[in-house]
């Protein structure tokens, strides 16, 4: 049994269960920007057409 006072060291990838630097943050950022642009166009174009 482990001693309560001992600290446990786990590698970052093992703790998260994933590998970093896969580009996921760029995909999410680009999709968020495209969604904002699309929603803005849906709102602005009909407003200008009036």
Q: Where are the domains positioned within the chain? A: 12-49
DSSP 17: T
Cα angle: 25, vertex 26, 31; to 5 degrees = 100
For the chain, give the longest Cα–Cα distance. Answer: 74
pLDDT of 10: 81
Q: What are the per-10-residue average pLDDT scores of the chain (50 residues)? A: 75 72 86 98 94
pTM of the model: 0.56
The C-alpha atoms of residue 5 and residue 14 are separated, in whole angstroms, by: 22
Pair 20, 26: CB distance under 8 Å: no
Q: Which two tokens stand for residue 36?
A: 């904002």
């Amino acid at each position: 049994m482990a001693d309560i006072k001992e600290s446990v060291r786990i590698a970052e990838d093992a703790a998260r269960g994933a590998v970093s630097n896969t580009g996921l943050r760029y995909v999410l950022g680009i999709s968020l920007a495209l969604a904002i642009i699309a929603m803005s166009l849906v709102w602005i174009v009909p407003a200008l057409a009036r």
